[in-house]
């Protein structure tokens, strides 16, 4: 029996992975560019500043991926592709759990080591993460006031935020799905009644029930990140004010109970 052409390097005269010869691991992933982006600022150098930069950049990469997945999940709802929206939301959940546990990495830094470079960061702060705010807007928590509180946005960042404020949220898309199924969504009372109908007749509305549960998990995991982040903040800086100019932990504590889908939580009261 002859082996399929190209399976054996000895037969083709090429090594695995060299076919075509144009791309390499490093060029495909743009590693020279990527690995040149971790640039500590403080003098004299502080050992943990590299960790601080790398962890934040890893978050921003994941935020980019989450925006990609959540946008697609929302867009899958309009044509009624609940299976697709659910699959994407489940990927979102796994990434979000990773983001919660990734806080552990930064917590290996001691407050004393953080103080070696913290002063040099001001007024930069995670508060200025445009992608984080885009995630909130897309998920359902649109608060235009945040845009005004950003310092020195680029034109592209401002346009991105404006676009997210203008376009439908995941919740809007879910309500559209209910409407197309004939369930009333004119006001909060109607929506709640429709959610109760769905919950009580899962045999008929299983796809809508499961999708709502996936949205709720997304909401829950976002809240878990906020709670975990403020714990880390208190561990690092106690009740000192933030480099972004807020009160620090007191501000962050106020944000922990925020919910994207309050009606999905209230639904529990009615079951
Ligand atoms: C030593 C570690 C950290 C400390 C001490 C810290 C501290 C703070 C503080 C005090 C705030 C309030 C705003 C301000 O006045 O600055 C804040 C907000 C924020 N931080 Fe962090 N942070 C840390 C790590 C991170 C990481 C790893 C991320 C990941 C991206 C992050 C993302 C954010 C976001 C998105 C906000 C805005 C939260 C909101 O408005 O609800 N932070 N941080």
Ligand 1 centre distance from Cα of residue 155 (Å): 23
The answer to whether the CB of 56 is under 6 A from ligand 1 is yes
Atom of ligand 1 nearest to the CA of 247: 15
Name the residue with the closest Cα to ligand 1, atom 12: 248
> Three-state SS across 163-212?
HHHHCCCHHHHHHHHHHHCCCCCCCHHHHHHHHHHHHHCHHHHHHHHHHH
Task: Kindly report each contact of residues 114-119 with a partner whose C-beta sits within 8 Å and lies 24 or more positions away, as own/partner.
Answer: 114/48, 114/52, 114/236, 114/237, 116/42, 116/46, 116/47, 116/48, 116/49, 117/40, 117/41, 117/42, 117/46, 117/48, 117/49, 117/52, 118/237, 118/243
Does residue 148 have a cis peptide bond before it, meaning omega lies within 30 degrees of 0? no
Q: What is the pLDDT of residue 182?
A: 97
From first to last of its 271 residues, what are the pLDDT tens digits of the chain? Answer: 444 544 554 555 666 666 667 899 999 999 999 999 999 999 999 999 999 999 999 999 999 999 999 999 999 999 999 999 999 999 999 999 999 999 999 999 999 999 999 999 888 999 999 999 999 999 999 999 999 888 789 999 999 999 999 999 999 999 999 999 999 999 999 999 999 999 999 999 999 999 999 999 999 999 999 999 999 999 999 999 998 889 999 999 999 999 999 999 999 999 9
Q: What is the pLDDT of residue 237?
A: 95
Atom of ligand 1 nearest to the CA of 114: 1
Q: What is the pLDDT of residue 136?
A: 98
* Dist CA 221 CA 99 (whole Å): 9
The answer to whether the CB of 66 is under 6 A from ligand 1 is no
Closest CA to 230 of 213, 251, 258: 251
Ligand 1 centre distance from Cα of residue 229 (Å): 7
The answer to whether the CB of 245 is under 6 A from ligand 1 is yes
The answer to whether the CB of 114 is under 6 A from ligand 1 is yes
Q: What is the pLDDT of residue 1?
A: 44
Atom of ligand 1 nearest to the CA of 103: 27
The answer to whether the CB of 248 is under 6 A from ligand 1 is yes
Ligand 1 centre distance from Cα of residue 34 (Å): 23
- Cα 49 versus chain centre, distance: 23
Pocket test for ligand 1, best of 110, 111, 119, 127 (most atoms within 8 A of CB): 127
Q: What is the pLDDT of residue 10?
A: 53
Ligand 1 centre distance from Cα of residue 41 (Å): 19
Residues in Cβ contact with 148 at an 8 Å cutoff, skipping those fewer than 6 apart: none
Length of the chain: 271
* Dist CA 27 CA 17 (whole Å): 14
Closest CA to 262 of 188, 180, 155, 183: 188
Name the residue with the closest Cα to ligand 1, atom 37: 127
Task: Please report, in angstroms and rounded to a whole number, the separation of the first and last CA atoms in the chain.
Answer: 65
Residues in Cβ contact with 107 at an 8 Å cutoff, skipping those fewer than 6 apart: 232, 235
Q: What is the pLDDT of residue 122?
A: 87
* Dist CA 241 CA 248 (whole Å): 4
């Amino acid at each position: 029996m002859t082996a399929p052409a190209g399976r054996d390097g000895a037969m083709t005269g090429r090594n695995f992975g060299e076919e075509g010869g144009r791309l390499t691991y490093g060029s495909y992933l743009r590693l020279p560019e990527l690995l040149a982006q971790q640039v500590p600022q403080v003098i004299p150098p502080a050992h943990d500043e590299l960790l601080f930069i790398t962890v934040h950049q890893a978050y921003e990469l994941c935020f980019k991926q989450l925006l990609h997945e959540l946008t697609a999940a929302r867009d899958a709802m309009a044509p009624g592709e609940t299976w697709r929206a659910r699959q994407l939301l489940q990927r979102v959940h796994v990434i979000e759990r990773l983001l919660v546990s990734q806080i552990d990495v930064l917590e290996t830094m001691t407050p004393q080591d953080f103080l070696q470079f913290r002063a040099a960061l001001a007024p930069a702060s995670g508060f200025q993460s445009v992608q984080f705010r885009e995630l909130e807007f897309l998920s359902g928590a649109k608060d235009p006031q945040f845009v005004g509180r950003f310092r020195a946005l680029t034109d592209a960042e401002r346009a991105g935020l404006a676009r997210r404020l203008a376009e439908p949220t995941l919740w809007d898309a879910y309500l559209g799905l209910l409407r197309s199924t004939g369930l009333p969504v004119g006001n909060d009372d109607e929506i709640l009644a429709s959610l109760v109908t769905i919950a009580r007749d899962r045999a008929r509305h299983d796809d809508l029930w499961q999708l709502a549960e996936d949205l709720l998990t997304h909401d829950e995991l976002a809240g878990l990140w906020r709670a975990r982040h403020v714990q880390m903040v208190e561990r690092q800086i106690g009740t000192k004010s933030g480099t972004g100019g807020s009160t620090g932990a007191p501000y962050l504590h106020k944000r922990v109970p925020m919910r994207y889908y309050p009606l999905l939580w209230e639904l529990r009261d009615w079951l």
